[in-house]
Copies of this chain bind each other. A is one copy, B any other.
C-alpha cells in the first residue's frame, strides 16, 4: 500500500557534508540550507553538535543554525549525541534533535567505543532534556542491512534497537543502510521484522547508494507504507566505512521517482536543482545524482 505523501528528510548538510572532503565554509552551508528550504523541503537536518575533535566538519553548526533564513513550516534539526550538544542545539534554535544507535555491536564499538545498549543509555538524559523543552527526538539506526565489520545483520537485531528507541520516546526511527549493501529482498525481510516491534508510521528509511540499490530498496519500502525518507542533495556523503565514492541516495533522484509515482512531497524540482548546481559549483565536480546531471546538462 503506497503512501499518498512522503516527507523527504534532507540530510545533505549533516550526513552528507560530514563525510565530504570538499571544504564547505559556514557561508556555503548557510547558502545550501537556504536553497534547500526554498525548494519546498519541509525537513532539513542542518548539522550536528558534537565534539569538533571527532567531527571537525560540523564544528560550525551553531553559526549555521543562527544565520540561515528560516522558512516557516520547515523543521530544522540537528544531531545531538549528549546533553552538552543538546543545550548548544537548543541555544541555536533547532526544532528537533536526533540521536543514533547501531544495529551492529562491532560497529558501535568501533564507531563510538561502547556497546549498543551503553550507547542508548547515554542518550537517556538527552531524551529527558528534549522532553522538558518539548523538542521531538528522531532516532537513527545504522548498519540495518549490513556492517563493515560484522557483515550480515539479523533483521531481529534491527527490530530490537528500533523498539528500544521507540520505547525511549523517539517519535520516528530512521533505519540506515549505512554501507548501502541491501537489496529489495533484504529490505523486505528487515521491515517485516521491524514491523512486529514498531508501527510503520513511526519508521523512516535512510539508504545509501553505494551499490546503486537505494531507489529499488526505497520502492520496496514504500510498499510497506513508509512515508518518511532520508536523502541528500546531490548524493552528498559517501561513507568512510564503505568502498567507492557513492553516498546517500540523491534527493533529486528520489524526488523524480516519487513524482513519477504521483506521491506528493511538496518539493519543486526546478528549485531543488538550484541547490544541486550550487553543490557542483562548490565541489567542482558533477553531482552524484543522475537526475541532476541529466537535467542540468541537458
Residues of chain A whose beta carbon lies under 8 Å from any beta carbon of chain B: 180, 182-186, 209-213, 215-216, 218-220, 242-246, 250, 253, 256-257, 259-262, 289-291, 293-295, 297-298
Contact = CB atoms under 8 A, between A and B. Distances in A.
A289 B290 CA distance: 12
Contact of A184 (B219, B290, B294): B219
A253 B294 contact: no
Listed residue (A218, A245, A260, A261) with the most chain B CB atoms within 10 angstroms of its CB: A260
Contact of A212 (B182, B215, B261): B215
Contact of A243 (B210, B242, B253, B298): B298
A256 B260 CA distance: 25
Nearest to A218: B216
Contacts of A220: 219
Nearest to A257: B183
- Number of copies of this kind of chain in the complex: 2
Contacts of A293: 244-246
B212 A262 contact: no
Nearest to A243: B298
A257 B291 contact: no
A212 B289 contact: yes
Contact of A290 (B209, B256, B295): B209
A182 B219 CA distance: 13
A259 B184 CA distance: 11
Contacts of A182: 260
Contact of A183 (B186, B242, B260, B298): B260
A212 B253 contact: yes
Contacts of A294: 180, 210-211, 242-244, 246
15 contacts: A183-B256, A183-B257, A184-B260, A185-B260, A185-B262, A210-B290, A211-B294, A212-B250, A212-B257, A216-B216, A216-B218, A243-B297, A245-B293, A245-B297, A246-B294
